[in-house]
């Protein structure tokens, strides 16, 4: 079975993230969404809250698992015996960062491969930080996130 890991902070998960998972299913049999704990990032949602929201969003997907990890992605990949990583690219600036990460990961784990997917046009500009900012000022985010996520954001900002 071909398994891939889709790592990220998912703070919060957006429709762009969901679309990447759905499109990945065309060529991946099992996708592990790996919620990363990055101590350098100040997250709105806790590690547990982010994983919980993802589990709720993907509860009807038989081939999607949600897990969490701390530390280096390559260490997590080794533990899982997975060598394929899925990453979304929105812009050239994403490519620069993701390209560096993919090459660095390969330095630590030679067999790791990274597949980059561009989201559909309506999600090219979408980011979790943009969604958080709109929600903070009580703007409508219903086009950008599932209802469960919109509800959790409303709770955070009321």
Give the model's confidence band at 22: pLDDT under 50 very low, under 70 low, under 90 confident, else very high: very high
Instruction: Tell me: pLDDT of 1 over 70.
Output: no
As a whole number, the mean pLDDT across the chain is: 94
Give pLDDT tens digits for 122-158. Answer: 998 899 999 999 999 999 999 999 999 999 999 999 8
Domain 3-124 in CATH: superfamily?
A: HUPs (3.40.50.620)
Catalytic residue check, 46: no
pLDDT of residue 71: 93
The count of other CB atoms within 10 Å of the CB of residue 155 is 8
Instruction: Tell me: pLDDT of 48 over 80.
Output: yes
- Widest CA span in the chain: 47
Which of 87, 128, 132, 152 does the annotation list as catalytic? 128
Region 93-100: mean pLDDT is 87
Catalytic residue check, 106: no
Which of 2, 41, 79, 120 does the annotation list as catalytic? 41
Instruction: State whether the Cα torsion 57-120-104-43 is positive or negative.
Output: negative
Catalytic residue check, 78: no
Which of 37, 90, 106, 156 does the annotation list as catalytic? 90
DSSP calls for 91-150: SHHHHHHHHHHHHHHHHH-TT-EEEEEPPPGGGTT--HHHHHHHHHTT---TTTS-HHHH
């Amino acid at each position: 079975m071909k398994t891939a890991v889709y790592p990220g902070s998912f703070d919060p998960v957006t429709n762009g993230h969901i679309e990447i998972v759905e499109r990945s299913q065309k060529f991946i049999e099992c996708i592990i969404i790996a919620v990363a704990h990055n101590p350098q990032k100040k997250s709105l949602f806790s590690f547990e809250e982010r994983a919980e929201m993802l589990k709720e969003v993907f509860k009807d997907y038989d081939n999607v698992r949600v897990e969490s990890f701390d530390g280096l992605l390559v260490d997590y990949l080794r533990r899982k015996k997975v060598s394929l990583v899925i990453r979304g690219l929105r812009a050239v600036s994403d490519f620069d960062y993701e390209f560096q990460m993919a090459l660095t990961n390969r330095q630590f784990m030679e067999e790791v491969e990274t597949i980059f997917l561009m989201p559909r046009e309506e999600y090219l500009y979408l980011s979790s930080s943009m969604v958080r900012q709109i929600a903070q000022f009580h703007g409508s985010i219903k086009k950008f996130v599932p209802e469960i996520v919109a509800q959790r954001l409303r709770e955070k900002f009321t």
